[in-house]
Amino acid sequence: MTAVVELMDYADVIERFDPVLGLEVHVELNTNTKMFCGCANEFGGEPNTKVCPTCLGLPGALPVVNAKAIEGAIRIGLALNCEIAEWCRFARKNYFYPDMPKNFQTSQYDEPIAFNGYLDVTLDDGEVVRVEIERAHMEEDTGKSLHVGGATGRIHGAEHSLLDYNRAGVPLIEIVTKTIEHTGERAPEVARAYVSALRDLLSALDVSDVRMDQGSLRCDANVSLMAKDATEFGTRTETKNVNSLRSVERAVRYEMTRQAAILAEGGSIKQETRHFQEADGTTASGRTKETAEDYRYFPEPDLVPIAPSREWVEELRKTLPEMPSERRKRIQREWNLTDEALRDLLNVGAVDLVAATVEAGATPDEARSWWVNTLAQEANSREIELAELAITPAQLAEVIALVNAGELTNKLAKEVVQGVLAGEGSPAEVVEKRGLKVVSDDSALIAAVDEALAAQPDVAEKIRGGKVAAAGAIVGAVMKATKGQADAKRVRELIIERVGA
């Protein structure tokens, strides 16, 4: 039986404590090969088929650094306003776990390739918070463990475990913030906004597919609380591998309420890793958190130091794309958006989707209306990110074009979108399969109008008498008869013609 965890009301947490955050984001690079060997860097596949003696740590196998990964690391550092090291090296991070075949991880310790940067983050109401970056360092990913037979999917209680080393050795950049203080009740929102902004930046750099659902981007959230009159940080917990923006916010909020309840009762917080439970938004205890000393770091003897020339760094700086923040300012100006309208786009994660829909032929207003209203509601109801919906900007632009051509009404267009989301094919295929095309044949519409007028002669007399607004009842009857597939504007015109008003 699961023990009941006491939580403090969030308002009471904020009244009594100050939250302190530290966020560590791991991003897998989209290089063709792994960090230190020539194995394919691809998601999925049959277990243990993308491995070699080097990434399995077999005796005698020596690593070679992936130059493209170093280039990606430098570009990330530059985009985060970091200083780029003139000289740095790899280190061995020693720990023993089955998904680490070498029994150490090749990482960077006290000499990261990028350090001392910042990222400005915009919150839902437009407030900008500067999150300072401690470091961005290179390392390799671990393999994956599958624990079979337990109730939670964790090793505790499992009957046996399976190991897949396909991911072992995939290039990783770990981006570590400095402590984030003085955010008060907005701490969970700041955490989500930071990871969201970082994801957008990495996507713009094209260094990763940033698929949180596939683990290409994942966040470790460090949370501690300080009493209002305290001068030292509290003991932190680290919630590992949180893999969605919504979950980052929920994990931080839950840890604040859990830790506050313990501290209020005179207890102490255990420094440990914790696991986020998607089903109920809670965290569960993992293992005692190690310190740097526990990892017994020492310089990697099989790899030479990295000393990027200043000329190369400046060449890479010139390859940086328009940053997301600057792009948003340009889009706001070009689309003539108010600050509120832009925030609406940002809050639902629709900027890139709207831009792509515009590029596919829609107007900004049309695209924005669909993504911010209709499709954002769909995403919310499914509890997924807007970009995860099974409709592309090009498909939405096709739907909008059909409406503008008079081949779909707005109501029918929503049905078409539902069909696309349900996996029934392209918009044109959904229209064909569901028979949703607008009835534009005047002869068919005239027949429906005459039938509706005959059924409501009193309404027809009102229209003849000059009460044109009464035509709405006839329009409604025709739309019902045609299952919403008539052009309401054309129907109204025909009604006026037929009664001679």
Least confident of 80-89, 151-160, 221-230, 328-337: 151-160
Q: CA-to-CA distance for 322 and 57, rounded, in angstroms?
A: 40
187: pLDDT strictly greater than 70: yes
Phi/psi at 188 (nearest 5 deg)? -60, -40
pLDDT of residue 1: 38
Residue 492's Cβ-side half-sphere holds a number of Cα atoms within 13 Å equal to: 10
Average of per-residue pLDDT across 286-301? 81
Mean pLDDT of 86-115: 93
If one compares 223 and 435, the residue with the highest pLDDT of the two is 223
Does residue 482 have a pLDDT over 80? no
pLDDT at site 172 = 97
Name the pLDDT band for 443 (thresholds 50, 70, 90). Answer: low
* Least confident span in 147-156, 266-275, 322-331, 343-352: 147-156
Residue 348 confidence (pLDDT): 85
- Tell me the one-letter amino acid at 461: E
User: Which residues touch 254 (CB under 8 Å, ≥6 apart)?
Assistant: 7, 281, 282, 283
Is a pLDDT exceeding 70 seen at residue 290?
Answer: no
Position 354 scores a pLDDT of: 93
The answer to whether residue 52 scores a pLDDT higher than 60 is yes
Torsion of CA 444, 447, 452, 456, to 10 degrees: 160
At residue 355, the pLDDT reads: 92
pLDDT of residue 486: 67
**What pLDDT, on the 0 to 100 scale, is given for residue 415?**
86
Give rounded-to-5 percent helix, strand, coil for the chain. Answer: 40, 20, 40
Contact 158, 172 (CB under 8 A): no
Q: How far apart are CA 384 and CA 423, in angstroms?
A: 17
Instruction: Specify the pLDDT at position 222.
Output: 97
pLDDT at 438: 59
Q: Which domains does the chain have, with CATH numbers?
A: 10-313 (no CATH), 322-434 (no CATH), 442-500 (1.10.10)
**Mean pLDDT of all residues in 362-366:** 93
